[in-house]
Amino acid sequence: MRLTVVGATGLVGRKMLEVLSERKISFDDVYLVASDASKGKILEVSGIRKEVIGVGDLLSKDVDVALFSAGSSVSKDLAPILAGKGTYVIDNSSAWRMNPEVPLVVPEINADIISQNTQIIANPNCSTIQMVMVLAPLHKRYKIKRLVVSTYQSVTGTGKKAVEQLESEIKGIDAVKVYPYQIFMNCLPHCDVFFDDGYTREELKLVNETKKILNDETIKVTATAVRVPVVGGHSESVNIEFERGFDLDDVRKVLSETPGVVLYDDPANNVYPMPIVSHEKDDVYVGRIRRDYTVENGLNLWVVADNLRKGAATNAVQILEYLIKNKIV
């Protein structure tokens, strides 16, 4: 297998290299691709040191699988070219997620929609991935009617420059601002761009991607996305209204038996999910499980995951593992 990672020098790209190494993905050759400014840098994957090449250099190579984390514009331009040459593209940007012909995949939930003819596969938004990991088994059992989600998202979701802004502000150093305000000791109810109706693109990703992954357009979803001065993971307050009644013990049992989900719920002993719990881990943590007494069949959950791992790199590599396991590549 000949593999490429496009956007290899970014936060998610570097995490992809880590996850590929950790999960011992076997390949015959690998090409690490980034912008021209990063050409010539040396990165390591699976103990192999490789020089970063540019997009133009990649086009002359034969590649079986491409992991993309280079932004929507690069994905829109480059993914169809590679797909046309027979490359399977696993794209981490938002470019293809809502394309009806492109599967939006969380492997534990819907990997079976991938076929031999699926040349482009979309990796969902980080906040969506961790939420649907918890929602999917509950939806199957109780049928979700309505969701209200508020996110508390790490600066790593914005990228390296956002992390640098936070680190500089902590030290009291002037820094280039990625956000319109300081992020240290602050919370910004502003993730991505605002639309005319007052919602942000990040909020609409949660709405639309959830319905597509769960394959149910009847679910009503509303979201508020907030950036917080945290490095290590995204947190979400999720309020669910089910169509069917539920027992809390059964909810806990369902979640405890869900692969990739860790039930972390003992508030009497101060056990509940936090970013420092999920940091550098691949599992999704769920806790603070309790009834919402204001509606019939209402449930509150608190969901936390490392947005660079399960929220991005790990999910993409798991898709690659599915392709390998099922002899698609």
User: Which positions are catalytic?
Assistant: 126, 234
Instruction: Find out whether 178 and 270 touch, Cβ atoms under 8 Å.
Output: no
Could you give the C-alpha distances from 186 to 155, 193, 229, 234, in angstroms and in order? 12, 19, 7, 16
265 and 248 Cβ atoms separated by less than 8 Å:
no
| Pairing status of strand 220-227 against strand 298-305 | unpaired
Identify which of 311, 119, 96 has the alpha carbon closest to the alpha carbon of residue 208. 96
| Residue given tokens 């013990």 in the structure block | 249
DSSP 83-135: HHTT-EEEE-SSSSTT-TTS-B--HHHHGGG--TT--EEEPPPHHHHHHHHHH
State the amino acid at position 147 in one-letter form: L
State how far the Cα of 238 lies from the Cα of 213, in Å rounded to an integer: 17
Note whether 71 and 48 are within 8 A (CB): no
Which residues, in sequence order, are CB contacts of 143 under 8 Å at separation 6+? Answer: 242, 243, 244
Grouping H, G, I as helix, E, B as strand and the rest as coil, residue 146 is: strand
